[in-house]
Amino acid sequence: MKIKLENSFITDNTLECEKNCFFLTTEQNKRFENEALKKECKIIDVEECKKLLNIDENIKIIGITGTNGKTTTAAAIYSILLDLGYNCGLCGTRGAFINDEQIDQKSLTTSAILKTLEYLKIATEKKCDFFVMEVSSHALVQNRIEGLKFAAKIFTNITQDHLDFHKTFENYKQAKELFFTDESLKFINKDALAIKFNVKNAFTYGIENPSLYQIKAYSLENGIEAIVMIKNVSFHIESPMLGLFNLYNLLAASACVNELVKPNLINLEKAISNFGGVCGRVEQVADGVIVDFAHTPDGIEKVLDTLKNKKLIVVFGAGGNRDHTKRPLMGKIVEHFAKTAIITSDNPRDEDPKTIIEEIASGFKEPKKALMIEDRKEAIKKALELKEKDDLVVILGKGDEDTQEIKGVKHPFSDKLVVNEILRTSNV
């Protein structure tokens, strides 16, 4: 990509290089530095790039990492800060936003550093006080956050995921730990699997284990109601969102905002209650039909456990070219919670969807009870046809994604739109 300047441009791609342009060298592309020099580019590092773009170093950057909860926690912080009157940016899985305006479409969880610097340039122009970003384990290993100074960092949780990239869970855990070695403000979930972190400027939050930000009482009956105790002070979390996992997300977000800006707690409570959640995360897309992004064993278990008081018809699959070992675990969990399980295609990428479906089914005690329908639209249609009055159809894995990746091609596909199209055109 490239960023235009008045008389030149900055790029991180040697294929775009021209004489006298600026080539941003990073850990990811430094092996191409000689190629850029041959094209008579000016080599710059991240610090020099920030100066060229006039990025305001006073913008407080907040980073969130963890297996699950990054998107919702980041969105909650962004929403709360905006409600409290601050200018704020956000980037992550859902795209990039500045002050309630979307400035870029969905992309990687954590972009290459030049793209993030472009967002920070716009955030500077829009006079942002804060910039919130999701930070993936891939980005930590590849140092896609090189040169960024974080005002606060959040650890949500860690469970099995991305072993196709990290190879072992220990490698994955160490990737997350890379983020928490410095002395910036850190917010650590004490109820999650423990990770190593620098205790200086670390705040803990939790429900089960003693923590600085401690939930003293809560109800998940109709949305979320909770009392948070911090030292000798308390505040309330009230939200229409569902599930214990969302209570953790809101607790992390409110703890972070409280420490960064020290708001009036009544204003904080109001801002928390105004956040209604994120599209594609336990989102009711039609009467008795929920769509969610959950695509890990832990994520699926948390969502289905939240909805277990209903009779569940669960449509799900697993992404291709990703960790094979989690597939039977996902099957085992869905079998435990679902009245009816329908295994289908997710984003098969370069894999045969039938193979993925069979690997998921191997986790069932009784595989014959699972319906296996490779075509995702047909699987959703079948779920809607089987739905009885008190059933809840839960469609997992893609959330608010609007494409399905098959053999290197991204085809238009939205679970939400497919549900509404079927309900509009069929007799289900």
Annotated binding-site ranges for ATP: 66-72
Three-state SS string across 332-400, please? Answer: HHHHHHCCEEEECCCCCECCCHHHHHHHHHCCCCCHHHCEECCCHHHHHHHHHHHCCCCEEEEEECCCC
Q: Is 124 helix (H, G, I), strand (E, B) or coil?
A: helix
Contacts of residues 100-107 at CB distance under 8 Å and 24 or more positions apart, as own/partner, are 106/401, 106/402
DSSP assigned state of 295: -
Tokens standing for residue 255: 């703890």
Please name the amino acid found at residue 260: L
Best CA proximity match to 283, nearest among 143, 403, 401: 401
| Burial per residue of 50-88, b for 16 or more beta-carbon CB atoms within 10 angstroms, e otherwise | bebbebbeebbbbbbbbbbbbbbbbbbbbbbbbbbebbb
Q: What is the residue-wise DSSP string for 27-95?
A: TTTGGGHHHHHHTTPEEE-HHHHHHHTT--TTSEEEEEESSSSHHHHHHHHHHHHHHTT--EEEEETTE
Question: Which positions make up the binding site?
Answer: 66-72, 109-110, 136, 142, 144, 322, 346-349, 397, 401
- Cα 143 to its chain centre, rounded Å, is 18
Gap between the Cα atoms of 214 and 204, Å rounded:
8
Helix (H) and strand (E) counts in the chain: 14, 23
Question: Which positions make up the binding site for meso-2,6-diaminopimelate?
Answer: 322, 346-349, 397, 401
Gap between the Cα atoms of 311 and 332, Å rounded:
17
